[in-house]
Amino acid sequence: MKQSLASAAVLLLSLMSVASAQDPQSFDRVEKGRYLSVLGDCAGCHTAQGGQPFAGGLALDTPFGKLVAPNITPDRDTGIGNMTDDEFVAALHDGRGRNGKRLYPAMPYPAYTRMSRDDILAMRSYFKTIQPVNNAVESNQLPFPFNIRLAMAFWNWLNFTPGRFQPNPQKSAEWNRGAYLVEGPAHCGTCHTPKTALGGDKTATPLAGATLQGWFAPNITANTHNGIGGWSKDDLVAYLKTGANQYTLASGPMSEAVTHSTSQMTDEDLAAIATYLKDSGVPSDGAKPTPVAASDKVMRVGEAVYKDSCAACHKDNGSGELHLFPKLAGSALVQSNDPTTLAHVVLNGARAASTAGAPTAPAMPSFDWRLKDDQVAAVLTYIRNTWGNAAAPVPASAVATKRTSQARFD
Amino acid sequence: MARKLPRKDVVIVGLGWTGSILAYEMAKQGLDVVAVERGPWRDTATDFPPGYAQDELRYGVRLDLFLRPDQETLTVRNNMSQTAQPIRRFSGFLPGNGVGGAGVHWNGQTWRFLPNDFNLRTHLSERYGADKIPADMTIQDWPVTYDELEPYYDRFEKLAGISGKAGNLKGVKQAGGNPFEGWRSSEYPTPPLKQNYGSALFAEAAKKLGYSPFPRPSGNISEAYTNPLGIRMGQCTYCGFCERFGCGNYAKASAQTCVLPALMRLPNFTAQTDSEVTRINLDSTGKRATGVTYVDTSGEEWEQPADIVLVCAFSLFNVRLMLLSGIGKPYDPVSGKGVVGRNYAYQTTSGVSMILKDKILNSFIATGSGGMMIDEFNGDNFDHKDLGFFGGGYMGSGQTGARPITTRPVPKGTPRWGAEWKKATAETYSSGFGISTHGSSYSYRDCYLDLDPTFKDRFGRPLMRMTFDFKDNEIKMSQFLTDRLAEIARALDPVEMTASPRKGPWNSTIYQTTHNTGGTVMGSDPETSVVNRYCQSWDVPNVFVPGGASVFPQNHGYNPTGTVGALAYWTADAIKDRYLKNPGPLV
Amino acid sequence: MPWEAGTATPPIPVRPGPWIFFNADEAASIEAIVDRLIPPDDRGPGGKEAGCAVYLDRQLAGPYGTGAGLYLRPPFMPNAPATFGYQSPEQPAARYRTGLAALADYIKSNFSGKVFRDLTPVDQDKVLSGLEKGSIALKGVNSASFFTLMLSGTQEGFFADPIYGGNRDMAGWKLLGFPGARYDYRDWVDRHNEKYPLPPVSIMGRSDWTVKD
């Protein structure tokens, strides 16, 4: 008797899920789509600052020029109200817009192609429910020759492998869920995977770190030296959920990703992502660089600048302060091969993410007015080679290219 | 003609300590809240980062974070027979400006008043006889008791992460704390700060004389702390740039470090900065406020309708806004009738400076609220029977730094300039030491605030006029306190010392403190108070003055911010638990 | 929390170069005056070498000179009690201009046509003392308050951050043993009666920040 009751419950559940699949506008279906749009951080690009949700308008600076994210509200004139479901799926799976028009990969279809058709249709259900906004957006503001969409055919041939996510049966369900999220909707590789000269993913080294929009998106594989190998699963979950953990705080583009996307993911999905990332990439082979000698002239200058400019927050021993001032000692980002983010933050400052779990959102002040290029380079070289850290020295020329505001020096 | 904005549930005038606390508490209730702030948005990393927060000329001398007198000032005189003159440059006291208000550049000294302070007139009458209170002294009991406020003191201290050592936990005396303080329901949120050399020497000397020195409760906190709003504060670095400066590393309690990060996340809260409220608007009955009118920096005038108006500006400007808006009857010192502007009070401070023998004090290593204090001579902690005065204050070490433009001790008789000055300045800097008293200022019939008949602000509205002087009672009190302090100084065996008890007349050009109190005092009787025990206007019940020091009936021997913060929470609870359920007079 | 890169308002360091506010005669006088107010000796440079005149020049040319932000509405009642604060419409730039001119006149007529710079140090000090005590009357100028204005300005320049043109090489701070624009004494607060060892640092750094020799 008990057994048949249980079976009935299962039957009822499966009937319901069939029902919801058949009713694209059921609450569950729309809610699933909403959550997927959070996983995909659609609002991150398609909502302009201060603008209507998903009405487009956020300009993306790519190495090839400017692209503006289009209006994806159901407005029939300027949004996607006239799109069919198949066209919607084609956009995400194949990078094809209406009438077969090729999209630019600033739209992360090389990642979304891993998503299931069902998930994409759920998102479509959600987007049908949002407020239509009449807002015409000129997406393609690229200069010649990149403004020729046909060029994307060639690009896709080189860089784009369409196809759904294939689970790895050797791994746990959690691992596979994490892999699906990272490779698919959450499109982590769009920022974190190194790019070819044409902006395609270097597929041999996924998630090993890349430079974009003036920031270095660090290596998020399990590499212990410059990846997140030193972080526990809980550290990773805390970081994605709150934007802060015992080592650091999210800033720059990741602060936005945390605010709009990862902080709103379920704990199960965050754990899945952490499980997958902890098992990704190549763990450190132990070939850690030799630190620059403390007696080096540049290191001594760096130490003086650090003592006088940085220690009040990050402390003499580089330990920082939990949830306020990132820890520099042992930090993978500090020791990453590409010091772009370090130079960016020292010169321009940065605001940490504000989340329910870590609302403080402290900001690093800018020092471009105070430090010359060689002084920034010296202090970065110092923090990369002190307290057990070891990384290549930062040349002053690398700082010069990062300077965005006019320094008040002669 | 003002352009009318969409209605809000609550409009708050000023986004400092009380404004931000009330905004958070109201918005958490789901109310639509806007705070209109006269000054700019201020943020740690952009307005006072560790790279230039410690610029003494800019912040300490040119007063970069303070209100500019051309925006608002007031006129001052010592007595009613004089013609008041405008403060053309603030120097005797320094009102703040901008988001965070004076909380941005305060020292962080965070005290509670004594239980007896709250029933001052009754207490003194019972102990010494009502006839002993001078006839013109208009002190009165608070309409709240210490016991009622204790949970709110506790709440504010936890918000701000205050560092200290309890002296009285639920009635049980605690070694190392202030044995005279009222009972506390819990220990301070963070342990006491470390003490620099001068403070350690003071504590030793005070102990030798039989006193019980304790660390001053401090809003510059001793270790990193997460407050109940989830906001994280940093650890004080003893940089010696608190007073007049913003804190660069999140270690000083302020709206910025304790409230705004959580407040700004609430979608039903808006901060309208660089906009000066010019009046609270009343309906035709004059018994209900309809909102406020403000002017932005382009000169455009806006009307912000709201159901509740919370007056959260600096205490003096609360009084002026009430006067300019015609809420409550202005005080007339001749007839003693009227209430708005009545019982203005200040603070009676004094000091002893000395030069110590062979000591390297490194006094630049300091915080705004470090130091070791004694409380034997505060309030009515000591017998006033044959002293000829009432009141008292705490005293102790606690120089807030040794910033060199303003702090350069020299021996007596040193010329102001030249070779001898230079030699003396160099030789004394590391061994000069100042200690001080911080005393009460009781209220008097002829110490009050009203509108000036002559001087106008940039909008053509009259400036407020302050009529104030130190009275015999306060001068005697200061002499007594300074004598006790000098005894401790002598125990330090200084090379030389100078005691400077407070003397009249009050001098608006010498910085003493920015503890200006009274003018919209709280009380149980509408004949002698502007707001009731819930800081609600007697006359216009949808206007509250939630805890600015303007509600103090007189000023006691402690810094006001702890009590201001407690009253802010007290008022917030009264609005939440009583007023919203049944809008109207709460008393 | 609102925040944008590049919205900081750091101080703009004074640039060396010609006088901006003072004319040549005024500059010569003021350099001589600041060097008597803070004379050079074996403890370190005097006011002139430390840049106090440059400091005053730049301050007077800026918002301080015009009393920007102060309440300057009439009526002015200069004879109000001093405890009510300065009650005159003249702001520092105008006060220096008329004060230095009146001082030059005084010296010209009392020291056989000379200018302040050419007086002996003893005479210079005598004149300054006379101003300080108010025993020298300058035409149309309250000499004692003019003296106080110059003295406080000179000392401000000597002890303010070097970015403002005075306190050159942190001479004023070195004289005192003040470590300057430091922001972290956590390791030193309870090291009692020990001399703090690190040199002063300006808002724009110190010599140890120099990479190239």
Q: What is the pLDDT of residues A100-144, one digit of tens each?
A: 788 877 889 999 999 999 999 999 999 999 999 999 888 777 777
* C109 lies in some domain: yes
Q: Is B443:B518 a contact under the CB 8 Å cutoff? A: yes
C-alpha span between C77 and A177 (Å, rounded): 80
- Say whether C69 and B54 touch across the interface (CB within 8 A): no
C-alpha span between C119 and C163 (Å, rounded): 32
Domain count, chain C: 1
- Say whether B261 and C1 touch across the interface (CB within 8 A): yes
pLDDT for residue B562: 98
- Say whether C201 and A297 touch across the interface (CB within 8 A): no
C-alpha span between B518 and B468 (Å, rounded): 12
Q: pLDDT tens digit string along B488-514?
A: 999 999 999 999 999 999 999 999 999
Count of beta carbons in the 10 Å neighbourhood of residue C54: 26
- Say whether A359 and B235 touch across the interface (CB within 8 A): no
Mean pLDDT, residues A326-333: 94
* CA distance, residue B36 to nearest chain C CA (Å): 16
* CA distance, residue B340 to nearest chain C CA (Å): 24
* C123 lies in some domain: yes
* CA distance, residue A374 to nearest chain C CA (Å): 7
- Say whether B425 and C11 touch across the interface (CB within 8 A): no
- Say whether A361 and B224 touch across the interface (CB within 8 A): no
Query: Is B515 in the active site?
Result: yes
Cβ-based contacts under 8 A for chains A and C: 64
Q: pLDDT tens digit string along A225-276?
A: 888 989 999 999 999 999 999 999 999 999 999 999 999 999 999 999 999 9
**How does A62-92 read in b/e, with b if 16+ C-beta sit within 10 Å?**
bebeebbbbbbbbbeebbbeebeeebbbbbb
- Say whether A304 and C211 touch across the interface (CB within 8 A): no
DSSP B83: P
Nearest CA in chain A to C3: A351
Q: Is A390:A396 a contact under the CB 8 Å cutoff? A: no
C-alpha span between C18 and A338 (Å, rounded): 45
pLDDT for residue A142: 73
- Say whether C183 and A305 touch across the interface (CB within 8 A): no
DSSP string, A131-180: PP-------EEPPTTTT-TTHHHHHHHHH---------TTS-HHHHHHHH
Residue from B105, B123, B438, B515 carrying the catalytic annotation? B515
Q: Which residues contact C179 (CB under 8 A, 6 or more apart)?
A: B364, C173, C196, C198, C199, C200, C201
Biggest CA–CA distance in chain A, Å, is 88
* CA distance, residue C184 to nearest chain A CA (Å): 5
Nearest CA in chain B to A320: B234
Could you tell me the pLDDT band of residue A50, with boundaries at 50, 70 and 90? confident
* CA distance, residue B426 to nearest chain C CA (Å): 5
- Say whether A325 and B234 touch across the interface (CB within 8 A): yes
Chain A CB contacts of C198 below 8 Å: 307
Mean pLDDT, residues A363-386: 96
Least confident stretch, A30-39, A283-292, B43-52: A283-292
Spans of chain B below 70 pLDDT: none
Biggest CA–CA distance in chain C, Å, is 67
C-alpha span between B465 and B341 (Å, rounded): 10
Residues 289-328 of A with CB under 8 A from C: 297-298, 300-301, 304-305, 307-308, 311-312, 316
Q: Which of A406, A403, A333 is nearest to A374 (CA)?
A: A403
Question: Which residue among B46, B234, B261 places its CB closest to the CB of A354?
Answer: B261
User: Over 90: is that where the pLDDT of A223 sits?
Assistant: no
A307: contact with B, CB 8 A cutoff: no
Chain B CB contacts of C182 below 8 Å: 54, 239
Could you tell me the pLDDT band of residue A284, with boundaries at 50, 70 and 90? low
Q: Are strands B462-467 and B448-456 parallel, antiparallel or unpaired?
A: antiparallel
Full pLDDT tens readout for chain C, 213 residues: 888 877 888 999 999 999 999 999 999 999 999 999 999 999 999 999 999 999 999 999 999 999 999 999 999 998 899 999 999 999 999 999 999 999 999 999 999 999 999 999 999 999 999 999 999 999 999 999 999 999 999 999 999 999 999 999 999 999 999 999 999 999 999 999 999 999 999 999 999 999 886
Topology of the domain comprising B3-579: FAD/NAD(P)-binding domain (3.50.50)
- Say whether B51 and C203 touch across the interface (CB within 8 A): yes
Q: pLDDT tens digit string along B320-364?
A: 999 999 999 999 999 999 999 999 999 999 999 999 999 999 999
Q: Which of B523, B494, B371 is nearest to B436 (CA)?
A: B371
C-alpha span between B38 and B320 (Å, rounded): 14
> C96: domain range?
24-69+87-178
* CA distance, residue B224 to nearest chain A CA (Å): 7
User: Over 90: is that where the pLDDT of A145 sits?
Assistant: no
Q: pLDDT tens digit string along B236-258?
A: 999 999 999 999 999 999 999 99
User: Given the structure tokens 């600048």, which residue do they identify?
Assistant: A305
C-alpha span between B553 and B311 (Å, rounded): 17
Nearest CA in chain A to B44: A363
C-alpha span between B27 and B25 (Å, rounded): 6
C179: contact with B, CB 8 A cutoff: yes
pLDDT for residue A286: 63
Q: Which of B289, B286, B328 is nearest to B308 (CA)?
A: B289
pLDDT for residue A267: 97
Chain B CB contacts of A362 below 8 Å: 44-45, 232, 250
Chain C CB contacts of A381 below 8 Å: none
Q: How far is CA A58 from the centre of its chain?
A: 16
pLDDT for residue C163: 97
User: Over 70: is that where the pLDDT of A340 sits?
Assistant: yes
C-alpha span between B83 and B76 (Å, rounded): 8
Chain C CB contacts of A366 below 8 Å: 5-6, 8
In the complex, which subunits touch B with 3 or more CB pairs below 8 angstroms? A, C
- Domains contained in chain A, CATH given: 20-159 (1.10.760), 173-278 (1.10.760), 297-400 (1.10.760.10)
User: Over 50: is that where the pLDDT of A396 sits?
Assistant: yes
C204: contact with B, CB 8 A cutoff: no
C-alpha span between A270 and A172 (Å, rounded): 15
Nearest CA in chain A to C179: A308
H helix or E strand, kind and range, residue B290: strand B289-296
Phi-psi region of B448 (alpha: psi -120 to 50; beta: other; left: phi over 0): beta
User: Over 80: is that where the pLDDT of A20 sits?
Assistant: no
Q: Is C53:C31 a contact under the CB 8 Å cutoff? A: yes
* CA distance, residue A45 to nearest chain B CA (Å): 21
- Say whether A324 and B44 touch across the interface (CB within 8 A): no
- Say whether A348 and C6 touch across the interface (CB within 8 A): yes
Q: Is the Cα dihedral B43, B47, B48, B49 positive or negative?
A: positive
Q: In the 3-class helix/strand/coil scheme, how is A266-334 assigned residue by residue?
A: CHHHHHHHHHHHHCCCCCCCCCCCCCCCCCCHHHHHHHHHHHHHCHHHHCCCCCCECCCECCCCCCCCC
* C33 lies in some domain: yes
Could you tell me the pLDDT band of residue A19, with boundaries at 50, 70 and 90? very low
- Say whether C41 and B46 touch across the interface (CB within 8 A): no
Residues 229-258 of B with CB under 8 A from A: 229-235, 237, 239, 248-250
- Say whether C182 and A308 touch across the interface (CB within 8 A): yes
Highest mean pLDDT among A203-217, A270-284, B236-250: B236-250
Residue ranges per structural domain of chain B: 3-579
* C160 lies in some domain: yes
Mutation pick from B65, B66, B405 vs chain C, by most beta carbons of C within 10 Å, is: B405
**How does A347-369 read in b/e, with b if 16+ C-beta sit within 10 Å?**
bbbbbbbbbeebbbbbbbbbbbb
Mutation pick from A321, A364, A368, A375 vs chain B, by most beta carbons of B within 10 Å, is: A321
Mutation pick from B24, B365, B399, B403 vs chain C, by most beta carbons of C within 10 Å, is: B365
ipTM of the complex: 0.98
pLDDT for residue B313: 98
